[in-house]
Amino acid sequence: MDIKDIYEVWDRFEKSSLSELKLSLGGDNLELKKAMEVISTEDKSGKTKQQVITRNDFTEENESNEANSDYKEIKAPFVGTFYRSASPEAKPYVAVGDVVKKGDILGIIEAMKIMNELAAPFSGKIVEIRAEDGKMIEYNQVLFLLEETDV
């Protein structure tokens, strides 16, 4: 594993919702952890509540604001589980760098045991995939960044 690989893993880890990652390739070992802060509050009954805050809780909004204005966001139309492919063994519908046409399938969102295809609302080039395969997504969460094209 060279330094470029380490930076790539680190970058993807920072953008993920993971709090810890251990990776072993060949004889190389890499362990990454995100700083976590515990906030304790006391309600009227005197019960203490604790909430764990990760760095991602604070940076998620800033990341979408930093997005290049030339890129268009494709957001989740509803809450569900996001899948990049039709089945675990199938290849993903799209990857970063792919050019898609309006109506092409970008992924699937499972909600209430119904599989809903997410279609591209316009033609463009996939610049970034922000949703993780098999993870819960929220309403209006940015799933993809596309550079609009006239394909």
Quick one: average pLDDT of 76-103?
Answer: 94
**CA pair distance 12, 75, nearest whole angstrom:** 20
pLDDT above 90 as % of the chain: 47
Q: Is the pTM of this model over 0.85?
A: no
CATH topology of domain 71-148: OB fold (Dihydrolipoamide Acetyltransferase, E2P) (2.40.50)
User: What residues does each domain of the chain span?
Assistant: 1-55, 71-148
Instruction: Give the pLDDT band of residue 52 (cuts 50, 70, 90).
Output: very low
**CA pair distance 112, 115, nearest whole angstrom:** 8
How do residues 113-146 score in pLDDT, each as one tens digit? 899 999 999 999 999 999 999 999 999 999 999 9
**CA pair distance 107, 83, nearest whole angstrom:** 6
pLDDT on residue 110: 93
Quick one: average pLDDT of 34-44?
Answer: 57
What's the distance, Cα to Cα, between the start and end of the chain in Å?
38
